[in-house]
Structures are given as C-alpha cells and as structure tokens.
Amino acid sequence: MASAASKKRQDPWPMMEEDMTRALNDLLIQHQKYSAMPSHTIVAENELEGTVHNAEELLFDMQQALDAVLQHPELFSITSEELNRRGALVKQWERDVQKPRDELREASRKRKNAAQLSASAKAAGVTTEDLAAAQGRRNEENSSYLKQEHEAQQATMAEQDQAVDRIHDGVKRIKNNTELIHEELKKQETMLDDLERGMNQVQVKLESAVKKVAKLLDQTSDKKKFICIGVLLFILIILVYVLFS
C-alpha cells in the first residue's frame, strides 16, 4: 500500500486553475475596453492579441494536464466528478477565449480588405469612395441574387410539400376504401355463414321427414303410400319454391 501511494503524482491543476482564472479576468477587462472603443486602433488590437494569446497558451496547458489525468487516472487521486468538472471548465474557457479571438480575426480581415480596396483604387485611377461604392453595388447584386435563389428554393420546397400532401391524401383514401371493403367482406362472410346454417337446418329437417315418411310407408298399404308420396311431393315443391323464390 505504501509503495502504491508513493507512485501517486502531485496534481498541478489547482495552481494552474488559479493562473487561468487570472488570465481570463485580464482578458475580460481588456476585451471590454476594446469593445467600448468607437474605432479600433492597431495598438488596441495588439494589446488584446497579447492577452488572448496568453490565455490560449494557458488553456493549452490545462487541456494537456486534463488529458494526462484521463490517460493515466491510476497516477492521480481524482474522482470522476472532479474530472467532469474540469472537462466542463475547459470547454467554457475555450468559448470565453474564442469570442475575442473571432473579433480580432474579423478586425484583421476588414483592415486587409480596406488596404486592398485602397490599392485597387490607386491602380485603377479612381478614388477609394468610388471603388467602395462599386463594391457596395456588387454586394447588393450578390444579396439580390442570393435572395432570389432563396425564394426559388422556398417555392420548390412548397411545391414538394404540396406533392407530399397529395400523396398523403391519396394513401388515406386508399386506406379508407380498404377498410370499407374489409367491412363489406366481413358482412358477406356473415351472410354466407347464416345461409349455410339455414341450409344445414333444412337438410336435417328433410332427412328427418324422409325417415318418418319411410317409416310410415312401411306401416301402411300401397294406396295410402301413393297418397303419402303425393302429399310429400306437394310439400317438397312448396319448400323448394319458398327457398329459391
């Protein structure tokens, strides 16, 4: 146990977290000053750039320290809850540093565009204002084209939605018709079952009547037999007429 404890490494995170917190506070103050300026000077951009760069270096070290613990957790006495907290902190710090970094990149891009615009104006023998106006017109044309493309896409999507709705309505009608046909088939099946039961009952009654007649014929004379046969034929004709009329 003693040898295992001696292998545990010292956790540098608490001290690094304090340094990172101070760097982020400095960055926040510098960023607020930069944002409050009506126009951003090169000096202000350089000052903010230095503060952002310092925070990015510390953030890189923090990520490296966190990765080392995650790769070899047996070397540090750190709970999973603490590791989750540190991971969430690193992600939050990345977002805090990314915002001023994006603003600096945008300022640099605008400055380069302005320099290129000025150089193009000199080369073309026109004023910077004229070239800027031409650039503005091109931007408006591009915006108009993009707007038309967006409207065309919206119209296409609307047509597709209508087609899908029509297909849905058709499928719904087919489903309703199928249900109606199914119900009608069930009714027809019930009617056929009733008819079959009726025929079976008639057949049973006829067989019973035939047996009774046969028994009666055996017990009577020939003359009476012919009379009974005639009566039975008459009854049979009536039954057939009733069944098939």
Residue 27 C-alpha from the chain's centroid: 39
Give the span between the Cα atoms of 202 and 134, in whole angstroms.
102
Instruction: Enter the CATH code of domain 2-125.
Output: 1.20.58.90
**% pLDDT > 90, the chain:** 17
Mean pLDDT of all residues in 51-67 = 92
123-180 per-position pLDDT tens digit = 666 665 665 666 667 667 767 777 888 788 888 878 877 877 787 777 778 878 888 8
| Vertex 57 angle, CA 34 and 9, to 5° | 140
Domain boundaries, the chain: 2-125
| Residue predicted with more confidence, 162 or 245 | 162
End-to-end CA distance of the chain, in Å?
A: 105
| pLDDT, mean over the chain | 80
| Residue predicted with more confidence, 154 or 222 | 154
CB atoms within 10 A of CB 105: 10
Mean pLDDT of all residues in 46-53 = 91
Mean pLDDT of all residues in 60-80 = 86
pTM of the complete model beyond 0.85: no
What pLDDT shows up at residue 232?
77
pLDDT score of 3 more than 50? no
Q: Are residues 128 and 116 in contact, defined by beta-carbon separation less than 8 angstroms?
A: no
What pLDDT shows up at residue 154?
81
167-181 per-position pLDDT tens digit = 777 777 887 888 889
